[in-house]
Amino acid sequence: MLVSDDVFRRLTEDILGGVYEPGEKLPTQRALAKDLGVNMASVREAVKRLEQLRLVEVRHGDAMRVADWRTSGGLDMLAHLLFRAGGLDAHTLKDLMEARALMLSEAARLAAVHRTDDQAEGLTQTAERIAQAQDAQAAQALDWAFYATVVEAAGNLVLTLVMNSIRHVYFQRADLFAKVVDDHQQLAPLYANAARAIAQNDSDEAATATKRLAQAQTERVL
């Protein structure tokens, strides 16, 4: 790990953990370098990354101040909130899974209206492959492919970008999300129901079936 990565991680955890409150001045970069036992270049690089995440505000002629990440942060904060201090934050995981179920449900509602024949066929085939998957690893990859197709079929750019952000978190620690496909053979009919409703252009049933599937997965993960 680069020294700047370690500095960035430590400062991020301090800010997210409340060691530094929103609006509070951070120590100068020189003071941080001395306290952390690193050079100034490592601190400057870490501060740039903190700025990009909107965790700190750096103004010319003023000290670095901690930003209120709850009002200024974006989806790129997810991974840092989820994997704090080397562990998994249970509250963030719960929020993520709840939001996932809501998003995928509404994506399925749109997909039932906008999907192409190829996308409908792809969802049906993926649902069948999940039922036949020989192991959890294969089922997990197919699970992602299923939902990625749902979001693609929805034809909504913002949902696509949200899905991209979730993908980064998901595959960064895929092992922690393996439970989404626990007993994937039992989940197979739920995938099939969602795929069928989207293929039949039944938007209400597509939303209901997909939410039922996502909630079943949430229960497994939590």
Which pLDDT score is estimated for 85? 66
Q: CB under 8 Å, gap of 24 or more: what pairs does 13-22 form? A: 13/84, 13/85, 15/50, 15/55, 15/56, 15/66, 15/69, 16/55, 16/69, 16/80, 16/81, 16/84, 17/84, 17/85, 20/66, 21/66, 22/66, 22/67, 22/68, 22/69
Centre a 10 Å sphere on the Cβ of residue 25 and count the other Cβ atoms it contains. 11
Which domains occur in the chain, in start order?
A: 3-73 (1.10.10.10), 80-221 (1.20.120.530)
Which pLDDT score is estimated for 2? 62
User: What average pLDDT values come out for the chain (222 residues) when binned by 10 residues?
Assistant: 83 91 90 91 93 88 84 87 80 92 97 98 98 93 96 97 87 85 95 98 98 96 90
Contact 125, 38 (CB under 8 A): no
Q: Which residue has the tokens 């700190």?
A: 56
Which pLDDT score is estimated for 181? 94
Which pLDDT score is estimated for 220? 94
Which pLDDT score is estimated for 138? 94
Please state the pTM of the whole predicted model.
0.85
Which pLDDT score is estimated for 86? 65
> Helix count (H) and strand count (E) of the chain?
11, 2
